């Protein structure tokens, strides 16, 4: 006669056995991941040395509070502007052709070096000196460069602005919409 | 011949529509929309409200293109010969941008901190694709609060873009007709019923709305604060964060890039696994999203073969049981008056020892095995293999004995295959659907939506024969209430009337059917007069049924437990099939017999031989050839005599013949009929092993209880009511020390010396497919992902969505009309004056072991109730909440009343979702279908007495049954267009151009 029963004696591990089992599990995990754990310890040590750990401790310990303060602080015009500028700058940086920029930058560097070398003098450059210095090949090439640059700067780039232009007016958009990306299938 | 040629020629002409797209000539399919044509090409057109499963909704206007110089919505414009389509002009772009701008006015883009940022957000993706960087009309908050009242999903009006997908799905796919958009008010929004909180509406929580919502407006609560890395942040921090995100915006481009990154990171922690639902025989498949052990949401996919985007409340939201604390995680061994948790080793040894002892002392037939219609095909296969090849007995059965075996018998007698004649798609296509004894919208919710939709939109006719006026009855074109247990009579009378009128399909009968003469002779007694007298259906209605069948080119007959659970269940099923044969309603799309399988794998459990007389693939144990095949494959000698079915097993235990039972995934102690008798049998067993995920009522009688894993924790296949075989994939690791059933069965078999070495269910299927002609071509590769096969599957993988197109599986290829007679239902002494109908509820599965674990379901439907008619209530002085006792000759139940006009007169309805004092099977008898031993659950009568007059209503006011649906077709976009503040973007562009040009 097996009457219906619904009592269950749970299989309870004694605290010692539980501890032993847990330790075994941890031990296995440690051994299985020996390499990465040893490396992690080194990293943690470095973090401890530099005080990063205590910083993070405070941060995580007060998670929501800190985040709240952070977000509220960040949501101020100057901060959001910084972030905004940063995002815009990052976007613009992507469009710069470093290959072309490199010689320019070298030239600017060398100019700056010159300025740094020359001591502040009382010497003044007159109009005549200016015209005369055009003959100096170094100055002449610099002036030509600057004039080309100014020309480029005057070109209309409004079509490339993503910040102010409607999509249909953006070059990017125009270029793509003018081409059919392949033709539709001909199945009947 | 000539006209046919002409016709074909005409079709070819109509097919070749020459269209010009952006200067390129293409050919369009007939009746295609511009959007469909463009979607076939590589041109991408924005489409926010369009959903392939919903069709054109026309609310978003983002898909505007130019057709012959006019700006039109491409989703709703059909292509015509010679059309010139332009998708690239600045006018088109301008119009699309205006449309998108209006959407963004309704939706705040804070993607990175949004739980819907999972790569599928249509708003996000469209903004990105259109390269929109700013909006001209800034977002504005709406004057409405978030509606958080429903336990499963919430609606945020501030994020709602008013695309109307949810309304379209609710009105015309699910057809519960709860959602509308109120276009009249200043700030339109989605409303429930007549603008009540979600939880007080007629919403059945099927989840369609949250599934189709293109953004985070209608969202599953499981996702809230869980899906993203930053979305779990406290509300008061989230708001400034959203503001900051918006202030930082340098245009959406950079913000979207960050949110795309975050979305990609989410893939690391959210797993998406395809699974198949276990709550009924429809076989819905979908992805389950999990994060560790947490279930975030169920995500249906359009390509799911049985259900597409559809689900019901159980499939979409009823998975809490998987992580329930009540799950069994270790084997239990009975010790005195309690169970002791034990190690697998000990439990398995004990089982092996006891099975061996009992077999030695009493013979193999002293043991019995019960497989489950909830477990996989592979598990059913292994269970019967254990019984037959390891123990050596055919005492193996499963619970389809309780529901659908009579239907299978009816089909075997007449058409030769024991399964649905076609697919759900055929039911959808049928001109007439005949529903007999099936509460379809509660028992097979997703399948019922296909009928509801076809009837609402496509002129399908529906006839319902039932005792209860359930939803399908309410919606039907003709509803008849035959006296309980008399369906066979009216079916036969209608068949006879059709033959007498000369409406039989003579040609079909001549070419495809045997036995007409004997059949007609046997029908003689079933005159209309006799049927009126016996069934109580009026003469007019009977003739109307016959006429409606006659006038329909295709008839699909759906039936379920209202037919099968009677003394003559097999005969009534046969009568249905006979009627279909006489009217030629087999072999063509949209027609046929559809016994609706109750559980996810009722079909598969039968297919794979969990039955005392059939080896896998319906190859009988008495046939020496079949036996030989399996003996060769398994290397054993198999028993030749059919075993006991589960009804006979209970008898066998009482008689002392049967000593041991191994039962899995079945709460037989509650779901078999006359459970006092069944439980008394369990008490007499020498050794009882129960394998389940919970300590079910049945498990409480066991000597050993083994912890099994539910579907989400295992691989395998199920076969649904359409004979459709689908794969499920393991989404979670088994909880604790629980194991998938297939592993447990293998462990037990190997303890008994079987030497099985299956390592994955695919190996089991491989073996089974070789032995089962019906499954010849079934392989796991062919079932990968959402792929499926409908048996019979030929060796080359060709499957059979529609049966009998190449004849019927009898020697001469012809079906058989099988004469049957009526078996009157059980008679009870007069004092048992109440007829107790019983069956399912939409929101609970069976006795409720799984669904009561869902807090949401339990909140809305906390306990079982007795549906009582207003007449009976008035006569006996019953109110909502009155506690009554129903007593039958076999037992009694105590249950609270709920007064409703779904039931009439002295008929009450007791749903089966109780495990205690209101369990229906305390009342049912051991009488059964004369051919299959399926219990006659539906032939139950009782007397009623009041125990306590006043009580709380067992059905709380937040149950959907109190709601007020607001039927309409679709979203009614014309009302949006009629608003003063609406101008079609195409017209705005045209006006601008005129002004400037």
Q: What are the structure tokens assigned to B180, written together?
A: 């509308």
With beta carbons under 8 A apart, name residues in chain B contacting A177. 88, 93
pLDDT computed for residue A145 by the predictor: 80
The tens digit of pLDDT for each residue in B334-350 reads 999 999 999 999 999 99
**CATH code for the domain of B470:** 3.40.228.10
Sequence length of chain B is 997
Q: What are the structure tokens assigned to B186, written together?
A: 């200043």
The tens digit of pLDDT for each residue in A35-58 reads 988 998 898 898 888 888 887 777
Does any domain span residue B127?
no
Residue B169 CA to residue B971 CA, distance in Å, equals: 9
Average pLDDT, chain B: 94
Contact A87 B254 (CB under 8 A): yes
How distant is the Cα of A76 from the closest Cα of chain B, in angstroms? 8
- Give yes or no: residues B721 and B747 share one domain: yes
Between residues A86 and B111, which one has the greater pLDDT?
B111
Q: Which three-class secondary structure state does DSSP give residue B544?
A: helix
- Give yes or no: residues B395 and B436 share one domain: no
Q: How many CA atoms lie within 13 A of B917 on its CB side?
A: 8
What 3 state SS string does B256-272 have?
A: HHHHHHHHHHHHHHCEE
Residue carrying the six token digits 């709305």: B209
Task: Please give the share of chain B, as a percent, with pLDDT higher than 90.
Answer: 87
Q: Within the 97-156 window of chain A, which residues sit less than 8 Å (CB to CB) from chain B?
A: none
The tens digit of pLDDT for each residue in B665-681 reads 999 999 999 999 999 99
- Give yes or no: residues B702 and B851 share one domain: no
Phi and psi for B335 in degrees, rounded to 5? -145, 105
Q: Give B993's pLDDT tier (boundaries 50, 70, 90).
A: confident
pLDDT computed for residue A160 by the predictor: 63
The tens digit of pLDDT for each residue in A86-97 reads 777 776 777 777
List B898's β-bridge partners, or say none.
Answer: B867
Q: Give A120's pLDDT tier (boundaries 50, 70, 90).
A: low
b/e code B330-362 from CB counts within 10 Å (16+ = b): bbbbbeeeebbbbeeeebbebbbebbeebbeeb
Please give the helix or strand (H or E) that residue B240 lies within, else none. helix B235-248
How distant is the Cα of A72 from the closest Cα of chain B, in angstroms? 6
How distant is the Cα of A161 from the closest Cα of chain B, in angstroms? 11
- Give yes or no: residues B389 and B430 share one domain: no
Q: What are the structure tokens assigned to B849, written together?
A: 């072991």
pLDDT computed for residue B248 by the predictor: 67
- Which of B595, B622, B643 lies at the terminal end of a domain, its last residue? B595
pLDDT computed for residue B754 by the predictor: 96
Q: What are the structure tokens assigned to B302, written together?
A: 């359009």
Task: Please return the burial class of A49, using the count of CB atoms within 10 Å of its CB with bins 0-12, 13-18 and 19+.
Answer: exposed
Residue B689, CA distances (Å) to B182, B662, B731 in order = 58, 5, 27
- Give yes or no: residues B549 and B587 share one domain: yes
Q: How many CA atoms lie within 13 A of B96 on its CB side?
A: 27
Residues 6+ apart with CB under 8 A from A14: none
b/e code B771-781 from CB counts within 10 Å (16+ = b): bbebbbbbbbe
The tens digit of pLDDT for each residue in B478-496 reads 999 999 999 999 999 999 9
Q: Within the 61-80 window of chain A, which residues sit less than 8 Å (CB to CB) from chain B?
A: 64, 67-68, 71-72, 74-75, 77, 80
- Give yes or no: residues B556 and B698 share one domain: no
Q: What is the DSSP string of B387-402?
A: IIIII----EE-GGGG
Residue A54 CA to residue A73 CA, distance in Å, equals: 22
Between residues A185 and A105, which one has the greater pLDDT?
A105
- Give yes or no: residues B26 and B98 share one domain: yes
Residue carrying the six token digits 């099994």: B708
Average pLDDT over residues B974-980: 95
pLDDT computed for residue A115 by the predictor: 77
Whether the pLDDT of residue A175 is over 80: the answer is: no
Domain tally for chain B? Answer: 4
ipTM for this model: 0.71
Q: Which of A130-139, B567-576, B788-797, B838-847 has the lowest mean pLDDT?
A: A130-139
pLDDT computed for residue A174 by the predictor: 54
- What is the crossing angle of helices B90-105 and B122-129, to 10°? 150
How distant is the Cα of B42 from the closest Cα of chain A, in angstroms? 6
Q: Give A11's pLDDT tier (boundaries 50, 70, 90).
A: confident
Contact A80 B237 (CB under 8 A): no
Q: Give B518's pLDDT tier (boundaries 50, 70, 90).
A: very high
pLDDT computed for residue B145 by the predictor: 94
Residue carrying the six token digits 């605290």: A15
pLDDT computed for residue A183 by the predictor: 40
Which of B93, B112, B680 to mutate to test binding with chain A, by most A CBs within 10 Å of its CB? B93
The tens digit of pLDDT for each residue in B209-230 reads 999 999 999 999 999 988 888 7
- Which of B532, B561, B595 lies at the terminal end of a domain, its last residue? B595
Contact B240 A75 (CB under 8 A): yes
How distant is the Cα of B835 from the closest Cα of chain A, in angstroms? 30
Interface size between A and B, measured as CB pairs under 8 A:
145
| Contact between B34 and B79 (Cβ < 8 Å) | yes
- Give yes or no: residues B610 and B758 share one domain: yes
Verify cis geometry, omega within 30 degrees of 0, for the bond prior to B792. Answer: yes
Q: Which of A6, A170, A184 sits opposite B24 (nearest CB)?
A: A184
| Contact between B52 and B210 (Cβ < 8 Å) | no
Please choose, from the candidates B551, B548, B554, B544, the residue with its C-alpha nearest in 3D space to the C-alpha of residue B454: B554
Residues 6+ apart with CB under 8 A from B209: B153, B165, B166, B169, B170, B179, B218
Which of B12, B81, B241 to mutate to test binding with chain A, by most A CBs within 10 Å of its CB? B241
- Give yes or no: residues B336 and B452 share one domain: no
pLDDT computed for residue A63 by the predictor: 67
pLDDT computed for residue A112 by the predictor: 81
The whole-model pTM stands at 0.88
Residue B103 CA to residue B106 CA, distance in Å, equals: 5
Residue B574 CA to residue B492 CA, distance in Å, equals: 10
Nearest CA in chain A to B702: A2
- Give yes or no: residues B697 and B732 share one domain: yes
pLDDT computed for residue A167 by the predictor: 54
Residue B280 CA to residue B599 CA, distance in Å, equals: 4
The residue ranges of every structural domain in chain A are: 15-61
**CATH code for the domain of B14:** 3.10.20.740
pLDDT computed for residue A186 by the predictor: 39
- Give yes or no: residues B724 and B643 share one domain: yes
Find the domain containing B510 and state its range.
405-595
b/e code B740-769 from CB counts within 10 Å (16+ = b): bbbbbbbbbbebbebebebeebbebbebbb
Residues 6+ apart with CB under 8 A from B3: none
Please choose, from the candidates B460, B415, B470, the residue with its C-alpha nearest in 3D space to the C-alpha of residue B437: B470
With beta carbons under 8 A apart, name residues in chain B contacting A80. 244, 247-248
Whether the pLDDT of residue A31 is over 60: the answer is: yes
Does any domain span residue B708?
yes
Does any domain span residue B396?
yes
Which of B12, B84, B240, B993 to mutate to test binding with chain A, by most A CBs within 10 Å of its CB? B240
The tens digit of pLDDT for each residue in B554-609 reads 999 999 999 999 999 999 999 999 999 999 999 999 999 999 999 999 999 999 99
Q: Which of A68, A181, A183 sits opposite B237 (nearest CB)?
A: A68
β-strand pairing of B190-192 with B179-181 = antiparallel
The tens digit of pLDDT for each residue in B711-758 reads 999 999 999 999 999 999 999 999 999 999 999 999 999 999 999 999
- Give yes or no: residues B396 and B413 share one domain: no
pLDDT computed for residue B8 by the predictor: 39
């Amino acid at each position: 006669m097996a009457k219906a029963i619904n009592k269950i004696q749970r299989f309870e591990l004694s605290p010692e056995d539980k501890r032993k089992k847990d330790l075994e599990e941890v031990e296995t995990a440690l051994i299985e991941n020996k390499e990465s754990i040893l490396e992690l310890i080194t990293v943690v040590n470095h973090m401890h040395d530099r005080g990063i750990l205590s910083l993070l401790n405070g941060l995580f310990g007060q998670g929501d509070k800190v985040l709240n303060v952070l977000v509220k602080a960040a949501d101020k015009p100057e901060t959001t502007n910084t972030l905004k500028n940063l995002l815009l700058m990052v976007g613009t940086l992507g469009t710069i052709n470093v290959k072309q920029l490199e010689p320019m930058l070298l030239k600017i560097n060398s100019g700056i070096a010159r300025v740094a070398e020359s001591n502040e003098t009382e010497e003044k450059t007159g109009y005549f000196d200016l015209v005369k210095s055009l003959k100096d090949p170094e100055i002449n090439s610099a002036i030509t460069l600057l004039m080309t640059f100014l020309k480029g700067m005057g070109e209309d780039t409004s079509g490339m602005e993503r910040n102010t232009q409607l999509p249909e007016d953006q070059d990017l958009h125009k270029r793509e919409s003018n081409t059919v990306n392949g033709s539709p299938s001909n199945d009947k | 011949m000539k006209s046919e040629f002409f016709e074909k020629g005409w079709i070819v002409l109509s097919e070749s529509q020459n269209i010009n797209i952006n200067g390129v000539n293409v050919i369009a399919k007939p009746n295609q929309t511009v959007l469909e044509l463009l979607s076939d090409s590589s041109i991408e057109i924005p489409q926010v409200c369009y959903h392939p499963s919903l069709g054109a909704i026309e609310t978003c206007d983002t898909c505007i293109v130019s057709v012959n110089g006019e700006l039109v919505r491409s989703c709703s414009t059909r292509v015509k010969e010679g059309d010139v389509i332009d998708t690239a002009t600045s006018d088109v772009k301008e119009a699309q941008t205006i449309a998108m701008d209006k959407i963004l006015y309704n939706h705040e883009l804070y993607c990175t901190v949004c739980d819907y940022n999972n790569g599928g957000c249509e708003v996000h993706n469209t903004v990105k694709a259109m390269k929109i960087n700013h909006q001209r009309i800034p977002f504005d908050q709406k004057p409405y609060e978030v509606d958080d009242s429903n336990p499963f999903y919430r609606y945020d009006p501030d994020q709602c873009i008013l695309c109307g997908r949810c309304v379209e799905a609710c009105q015309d796919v699910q057809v519960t007709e709860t959602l509308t958009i109120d276009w009249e008010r200043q700030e339109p929004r989605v409303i429930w019923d007549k603008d009540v909180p979600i939880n007080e509406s007629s919403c059945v929580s099927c989840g369609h709305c949250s599934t189709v919502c293109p953004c985070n407006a209608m969202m599953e609560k499981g996702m809230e604060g869980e899906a993203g890395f930053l979305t779990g942040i406290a509300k008061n921090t989230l708001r400034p964060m959203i503001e900051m995100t918006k202030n930082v915006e340098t245009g959406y481009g950079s913000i979207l890039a960050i949110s795309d990154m975050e979305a990609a990171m989410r893939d690391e922690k959210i797993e998406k696994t395809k699974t198949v639902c276990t709550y009924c025989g429809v076989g819905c498949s979908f992805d389950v999203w999990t994060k560790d052990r947490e279930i975030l949401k169920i995500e249906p996919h359009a390509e799911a073969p049985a259900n597409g985007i559809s689900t019901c409340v159980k499939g979409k939201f009823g998975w809490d049981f998987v992580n329930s604390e009540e799950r069994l995680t270790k084997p239990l061994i009975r010790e005195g008056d309690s169970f002791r948790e034990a190690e697998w080793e000990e439990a398995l040894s004990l089982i092996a020892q006891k099975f061996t002892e009992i077999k030695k002392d009493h013979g193999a037939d002293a043991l019995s095995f019960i497989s489950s219609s909830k477990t996989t095909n592979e598990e059913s296969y292994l269970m019967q293999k254990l019984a037959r090849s390891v123990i050596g007995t055919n005492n193996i059965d499963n619970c389809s004995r309780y529901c659908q075996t009579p239907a299978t018998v009816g089909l075997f007698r007449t058409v030769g295959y024991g399964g649905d004649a076609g697919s759900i798609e055929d039911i959808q296509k049928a001109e007439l659907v005949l529903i007999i004894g099936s509460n379809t919208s509660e028992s097979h919710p997703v399948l019922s939506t296909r009928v509801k939709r076809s009837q609402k939109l496509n002129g399908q006719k529906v006839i319902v024969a039932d005792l209860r006026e359930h939803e399908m009855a309410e919606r039907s074109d003709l509803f008849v209430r035959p006296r309980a247990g008399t369906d066979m009579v009216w079916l036969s009378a209608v068949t006879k009337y059709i033959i007498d009128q000369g409406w039989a399909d003579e040609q079909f009968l001549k070419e495809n059917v045997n036995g007409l003469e004997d059949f007609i002779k046997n029908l003689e007694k079933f005159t209309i007069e006799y049927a009126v007298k016996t069934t109580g259906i009026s003469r007019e209605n009977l003739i109307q049924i016959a006429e409606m069948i006659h006038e329909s080119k295709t008839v699909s007959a759906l039936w379920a437990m209202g037919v099968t659970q009677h003394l003559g269940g097999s005969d009534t099923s046969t009568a249905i099939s006979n009627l279909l044969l006489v009217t030629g309603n087999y072999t063509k799309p949209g027609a046929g017999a559809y016994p609706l399988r109750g559980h996810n794998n009722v079909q598969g459990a039968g297919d794979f031989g969990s039955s005392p007389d059939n080896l896998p693939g319906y190859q009988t144990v008495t046939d020496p050839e079949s036996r030989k095949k399996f003996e060769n494959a398994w290397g054993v000698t198999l028993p030749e005599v059919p075993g006991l079915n589960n009804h006979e097993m209970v008898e066998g235990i009482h008689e002392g013949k049967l000593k041991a039972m191994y039962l899995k995934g079945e709460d037989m102690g509650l779901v078999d009929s006359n459970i006092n008798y069944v439980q008394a049998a369990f008490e007499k067993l020498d050794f009882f092993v129960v394998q389940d995920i919970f300590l079910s009522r049945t498990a409480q009688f066991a000597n050993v209880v083994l912890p099994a894993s539910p579907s989400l924790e295992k691989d395998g296949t199920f076969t649904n009511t359409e004979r459709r075989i689908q794969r499920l994939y393991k989404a979670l690791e088994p909880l604790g020390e629980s194991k998938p059933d297939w592993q447990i069965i293998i462990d037990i078999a190997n303890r008994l010396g079987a030497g099985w070495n299956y390592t994955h269910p695919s190996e089991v299927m491989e073996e089974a497919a070789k032995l089962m002609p019906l499954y010849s071509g079934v392989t796991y590769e062919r079932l990968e992902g959402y792929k499926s096969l409908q048996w019979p599957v030929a060796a080359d993988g060709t499957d059979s969505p529609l049966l009998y197109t190449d004849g019927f599986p009898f020697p001469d290829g012809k079906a058989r009309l099988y004469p049957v007679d009526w078996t009157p239902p059980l008679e009870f002494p007069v004092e048992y004056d109440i007829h107790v109908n019983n069956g399912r509820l939409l929101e609970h599965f069976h006795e409720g072991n799984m669904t009561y674990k869902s807090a949401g379901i339990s909140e809305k439907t906390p306990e079982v109730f007795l549906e009582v008619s207003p007449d009976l209530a008035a006569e006996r002085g019953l109110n909502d909440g009155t506690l009554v006792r129903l007593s039958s000759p076999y037992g009694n139940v105590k249950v609270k009343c709920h007064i409703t006009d779904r039931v009439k007169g002295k008929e009450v309805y007791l749903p089966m979702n109780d495990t205690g004092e209101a369990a229906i099977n305390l009342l049912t008898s051991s009488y059964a279908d004369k051919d299959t031993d399926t219990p006659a659950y539906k032939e139950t009568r009782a007397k009623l007495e009041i125990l306590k007059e006043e009580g709380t209503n067992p059905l709380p006011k937040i149950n959907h049954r109190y709601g007020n649906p607001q039927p309409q077709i679709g979203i009614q976009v014309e009302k949006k267009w009629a608003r003063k503040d609406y101008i079609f973007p195409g017209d705005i562009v045209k006006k601008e151009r005129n002004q400037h040009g």
